[in-house]
A and B are shown apart, each in its own frame.
Chain A
Amino acid sequence: MPLVKRNIEPRHLCRGALPDGVTSELECVTNTTLAAIIKQLGSLSRHAEDIFGELFNEANSFYLRMSSLQERVDQLAVKVTQLDSTVEEVSLQDINMRKAFKSSTIQDQQVVSRTSVPNPVVEMYHRCDKPPPLNILTPYRDDKKDALKFYTDPSYFFNLWKEKMLQATEDKRKEKRRQKEQQRQVEDPSREVKKVRKARNRRQEWNVLAYDKEFRPDARLAPSPYHGMSSEGSLSPDSRSMASDSYPASPNHPSTQASSTAHPADHHTRDHLSAAAQTQSLDRGLRPANQPPGAGGAAATGRHVASLGRTPSGHGVQAGGDPTVNGPRQQSVKDYRAAHGGQPSTIPEYYIPPAPPPPPLTIPSAQTAFDSTNAPPSATSAVPPTSSALSRPYSPSPPPPPANFCPPPPTRLQAHPRPPLLLLLREPPWATRPTRHPRTPLSVSQLWTRHPRRGSPPCWG
């Protein structure tokens, strides 16, 4: 049952003992009742006065605040009319050096404290029984604590909360110290620098890694679409041979193809195998990227016009396939495949973007679908194996460059609409394809031979 804030005091009007010796008792009761009514009216008026007083105090405080606000508004209005934009400082440095705005409004604190208890409640409190006077025992205690505190302590909860807060701050401080210690132990300036570099130049690093030592990009070397052919082993032996046949002059075509079945057609093959090229796996798109710059330079003369991702002309076939293609190129390739399905490879000249990161990429599911469909026809295309082979030698590390950019065939330029880069899935360079075999770097000599160095089975799709 809730506590009643204001009780009108004579609760029962007609109760009370009748005095002795009255003749008309009914009249007596009536008079008693009327007297109680008068007392009730008295307490009622007291309560009413209390109510109005509280309301008045609150309204008064609002009035004061409002009047001060009114003055501030008036002053502001005057000040605003005096504003002059020509005089105001506009130096950029000073703008940053200005003190930040800090509001001076304080939130309400101690809202339900002892001091904010309303009067009727205080009176009710005083009417209650007092706790036993245990304070008189305080001088006899050994620990000199207040004896009454053991019986009833009004500040108990506050003390509890205070201790909890202090403990929390202490814990946070310790955590910070611990983390700082850990960071100091772990942190290595060189490593940090490395991290920064990696974040900034990852793509360039991948491109660099994709090339073999001989084909590391120099300023003089033209960007070749063949750099970093990431033949993730998707090229079939047939396609490899075909690829090598198709581009005999290009050193970029690795003689041995990676196992990726998804690299059925290099961009080289695209030139020559229109129908087959379409069947090429996703690697095709990646071919151009994976071509080493040196080899690509040779091949690029004829072929590589623009990066797969960037050139509007789409290589319908290659675009779809290569999951290992670096970012945009990969995406564009994939999109293209999706868009154009089995269109002949009319790959315009692409500028092959830098090779993707070394670890082989896993083929996204969508692309694996493509790969699976395109895997059989990939046998017809000779380019992929060569392209994949090309990509291998340029990655000095065992993990082959993942990006298999297929450089567009220079001869065939079809107006394929450029697939939107953003739509394509970009698999992380370090994603590993489950079916792919790691490409092994091939020597330069092997590039020029058209035999697969290793019989890594195409594992695309």
Chain B
Amino acid sequence: MAGQEDQVQREIHQDWANREYIEVITSSIKKIADFLNSFDMSCRSRLAKINEKLTALERRIEYIEARVTKGETLT
């Protein structure tokens, strides 16, 4: 039955199109996930650097404050 074969062919063609569409969507999803991961990693590394600098600054500030303020004596 050519008509039915046409119908099946059309369905298969449509299925192929759908799958391609789905494939595009899933690959986009993967790209989003990949981007999120890399963004997370880069953010964490930068925040860690900032953390280091912050701690160094805090220690220096503390020392300078101690130097500048008139300290109390032991006795």
Residues of chain A in range 35-79 having any CB-CB distance to chain B below 8 Å? 37, 40-41, 44, 47-48, 51, 54-55, 58-59, 62, 65-66, 69, 72-73, 76, 79
Evaluate contact between B32 and A44: CB separation under 8 angstroms.
yes
The residue from A29, A41, A104 contacting B29, defined by CB atoms under 8 A apart: A41
Evaluate contact between A37 and B58: CB separation under 8 angstroms.
no
Distance in angstroms between the alpha carbons of A30 and B12 in the assembled complex = 12
Evaluate contact between A69 and B57: CB separation under 8 angstroms.
yes
Evaluate contact between B58 and A65: CB separation under 8 angstroms.
yes
Distance in angstroms between the alpha carbons of A97 and B14 in the assembled complex = 90
Q: A44-B32, A65-B54 are in contact. Are A59 and B47 (CB under 8 A)?
A: yes
Evaluate contact between B75 and A97: CB separation under 8 angstroms.
yes
The residue from A26, A34, A65 contacting B15, defined by CB atoms under 8 A apart: A26
Contact-size category for B: 35 or more
The residue from A59, A79, A104 contacting B62, defined by CB atoms under 8 A apart: A104
Q: A13-B26, A55-B47, A62-B50 are in contact. Are A105 and B58 (CB under 8 A)?
A: yes
Evaluate contact between B54 and A33: CB separation under 8 angstroms.
no
Chain B contact residues, majority secondary structure: helix
Evaluate contact between B36 and A51: CB separation under 8 angstroms.
yes
Distance in angstroms between the alpha carbons of A24 and B8 in the assembled complex = 10
The residue from A26, A37, A54, A76 contacting B12, defined by CB atoms under 8 A apart: A26
Distance in angstroms between the alpha carbons of A76 and B39 in the assembled complex = 37
Chain A residues near B64 (CB-CB < 8 A): 76
Evaluate contact between B61 and A72: CB separation under 8 angstroms.
yes
| B-contact bits for A87-101, CB 8 A (1 contact / 0 none) | 011000010011101
Chain A residues near B62 (CB-CB < 8 A): 103-105
Query: Does A8 make an interface contact (CB < 8 A)?
Result: yes
Evaluate contact between A37 and B15: CB separation under 8 angstroms.
no
Evaluate contact between A13 and B22: CB separation under 8 angstroms.
yes
Distance in angstroms between the alpha carbons of A59 and B49 in the assembled complex = 12
Output the least CB separation between B35 and chain A (Å): 9
Q: A76-B68, A98-B71 are in contact. Are A69 and B40 (CB under 8 A)?
A: no
Q: A26-B11, A99-B71 are in contact. Are A37 and B29 (CB under 8 A)?
A: yes
Query: Does A80 make an interface contact (CB < 8 A)?
Result: yes
Output the least CB separation between A100 and chain B (Å): 9
Evaluate contact between B22 and A34: CB separation under 8 angstroms.
yes
Output the least CB separation between A66 and chain B (Å): 6
Chain B residues near A1 (CB-CB < 8 A): none
Chain B residues near A26 (CB-CB < 8 A): 11-12, 14-15, 18
| A-contact bits for B38-49, CB 8 A (1 contact / 0 none) | 011001100100
Q: From B75, which residue of chain A is reached at the shortest CB distance?
A: A97
Q: A26-B14, A62-B50, A101-B66 are in contact. Are A37 and B72 (CB under 8 A)?
A: no
Q: A44-B33, A55-B47, A65-B54 are in contact. Are A33 and B22 (CB under 8 A)?
A: yes
Distance in angstroms between the alpha carbons of A47 and B14 in the assembled complex = 33
| A-contact bits for B2-43, CB 8 A (1 contact / 0 none) | 000000000110110011001001100100110010011001
Distance in angstroms between the alpha carbons of A20 and B29 in the assembled complex = 31
Query: Does A83 make an interface contact (CB < 8 A)?
Result: yes
Chain B residues near A72 (CB-CB < 8 A): 61, 65
Evaluate contact between A94 and B73: CB separation under 8 angstroms.
yes
Chain B residues near A80 (CB-CB < 8 A): 68
The residue from B11, B14, B54, B63 contacting A101, defined by CB atoms under 8 A apart: B63
Evaluate contact between B54 and A66: CB separation under 8 angstroms.
yes
Evaluate contact between A48 and B74: CB separation under 8 angstroms.
no
Output the least CB separation between B11 and chain A (Å): 6
Distance in angstroms between the alpha carbons of A33 and B23 in the assembled complex = 10
Distance in angstroms between the alpha carbons of A205 and B67 in the assembled complex = 49
The residue from B36, B65, B74 contacting A99, defined by CB atoms under 8 A apart: B74
Q: From A24, which residue of chain B is reached at the shortest CB distance?
A: B11
Output the least CB separation between A73 and chain B (Å): 6
| B-contact bits for A105-143, CB 8 A (1 contact / 0 none) | 100000000000000000000000000000000000000
Q: From A38, which residue of chain B is reached at the shortest CB distance?
A: B25
* Sampled A-B contacts (16; CB under 8 Å): A26-B18, A27-B15, A34-B25, A47-B33, A54-B40, A55-B40, A62-B50, A66-B54, A69-B57, A69-B61, A73-B61, A76-B64, A79-B68, A98-B73, A105-B59, A105-B62
| Contacts from B to A (Cβ < 8 Å) | 11-12, 14-15, 18-19, 22, 25-26, 29, 32-33, 36, 39-40, 43-44, 47, 50-51, 54-55, 57-59, 61-66, 68-75
Closest 7 CB pairs of A and B: A30-B18, A26-B15, A97-B73, A101-B66, A55-B43, A51-B40, A98-B71
Given A13-B26, A76-B65, A101-B71, 9 other A-B contacts at CB below 8 A?
A: A26-B18, A27-B15, A44-B36, A54-B40, A55-B47, A62-B51, A66-B54, A69-B54, A79-B69
